[in-house]
Amino acid sequence: MNERMVQLEVLRYDPQVDDEPHFQHYEVPCKEEWVVLDALNAIKESIDPTLNYRWSCHMAVCGSCGMMINGEPRLSCHAFLRGFAGVIRVEPLAHFPIERDLVTVADDFIDKLKRVKPYLIPGEPRPIGAGEYLQTPAQLMKYRHFSMCINCMLCYAACPQYALQPLFLGPAAITLAHRYNLDSRDGGREQRQQVIATDEGVWECSFVGACSEVCPKAVDPAAALQQVKVASTLDWFREHLLPGSAT
Amino acid sequence: MAKSNKPVVWSLFAAGGTLAALLAPVLALLFLLAALGRAPELLGYARLHAFAANPLGKLFLLTVIALFLWHAAHRLRVALHDFGLRRDRLVAVVVYLAAGTGTALSLLYLARI
């Protein structure tokens, strides 16, 4: 198995000690098939145990190891070292406050996620005796790929509108709202529309599309947001122009 | 937070964008040919005048001109925001006023043909 020395420049920041973040240089012996996360683990195990970062599954499922790698939001478990030449620059996800080193404070995203009610809200109460909900393959396909989101926040780190306007609900939260709105078992669309069909909701989006480019699960949040815009526009005309349908 | 009223301008923007994607390239080509004096017979003055005199022709021209204007206005508003201009309300008033004036003028001129 081939091994080579890989140079990493990792952003370090301990708010209790440092005035501002700084880069630390590491030279790590790495195997050819390693990903950036393996290199970070090697640093923590044998070079510098004080380095902080989040990770869990190492297989692009848990969504916790997102970071800026050479300026692009990537899952570090999905970024192969052989894809980079020269020094690899590793920074915490952009647009989020740093908690320590590569660990960011995700509170803003978690709060926005809660606000869009990303769970099934049945339209009418259904007794357990009525059995399970049945769904046809066609009904499933309507929302299935929007349900692949792993909440990794790469889309927030890529979104220039979120950088300009931190109140923006953002790609993943609106996409998840849309995912439940499209679900045949759900009846909570109007509740979610009150949150997402607002100036700080979907209408802050200017369809740059960076979210879809960086999404590691091909969820295509930009498409979801465009669909939300079309649906919300139809709502608006229905609510304002058709008599008796105002909500 | 209340629901947004942006769907009003966004629907014009989206409709204009769709129409522009379909029509703008061919219009640019035809205008270029006409400017070079190589317009096909179909685009001669008499025929275009007759087209603009027909009520359906008027409706078509008004739709194309107005939706292009509203599309451009909204695009400009968003682009200025992206470039860092934060006076969104002022920008919105200026660009939509321009699009509205353009729409009113086309209506006026088309009505006089």
What pLDDT sits at residue B14?
Answer: 95
Q: How far apart are CA A90 and CA A236, in angstroms?
A: 44
Whether A201 has a pLDDT exceeding 70, the answer reads yes
What pLDDT sits at residue B40?
Answer: 79
Pick the residue from chain B with its C-alpha nearest to A195.
B1
What pLDDT sits at residue B81?
Answer: 86
Contact A237 B11 (CB under 8 A): yes
Whether A242 has a pLDDT exceeding 90, the answer reads no
Exposed, middle or buried, B98 (CB in 10 Å: 0-12/13-18/19+)?
A: middle
Where residue A246 falls among pLDDT bands split at 50, 70, 90? low
pLDDT mean over A171-198: 97
What pLDDT sits at residue B2?
Answer: 86
Where residue B16 falls among pLDDT bands split at 50, 70, 90? very high
CB pairs under 8 A between A and B: 44
Contact A201 B4 (CB under 8 A): yes
Average pLDDT over chain A reads: 95
What residue segments make up the domains of chain A, in order of their start? 3-104, 107-241
* Residue among B5, B6, B70 with most chain A CBs within 10 A, to mutate: B6
- For chain A, helix (H) and strand (E) counts, in that order, are 9, 7
Q: What is the largest CA-CA distance in chain B?
A: 57
- A225-241 tens-digit pLDDT: 999 999 999 999 999 98
Contact A193 B14 (CB under 8 A): no
Where residue A1 falls among pLDDT bands split at 50, 70, 90? low
pLDDT mean over A52-63: 97
Two tokens, residue B95: 């660009």
Give the β-pairing of A98-100 and A88-91.
Answer: unpaired
CATH class of A107-241: mainly alpha
Contact B6 A193 (CB under 8 A): no
Q: How far apart are CA A172 and CA B10, in angstroms?
A: 22
- B48-91 tens-digit pLDDT: 899 999 999 999 999 999 999 999 999 999 999 888 888 889 99
What pLDDT sits at residue B42?
Answer: 79
Rounded to 5, what percent of chain A is helix, strand, coil?
A: 40, 15, 45
Whether A96 has a pLDDT exceeding 60, the answer reads yes
Looking at domain B6-112, which CATH architecture does it have?
Answer: Up-down Bundle (1.20)
Phi, psi of A28 (to 5 degrees): -125, 130
Tell me the ipTM for this assembly: 0.82
What pLDDT sits at residue A244?
Answer: 72
Looking at domain A3-104, which CATH architecture does it have?
Answer: Roll (3.10)
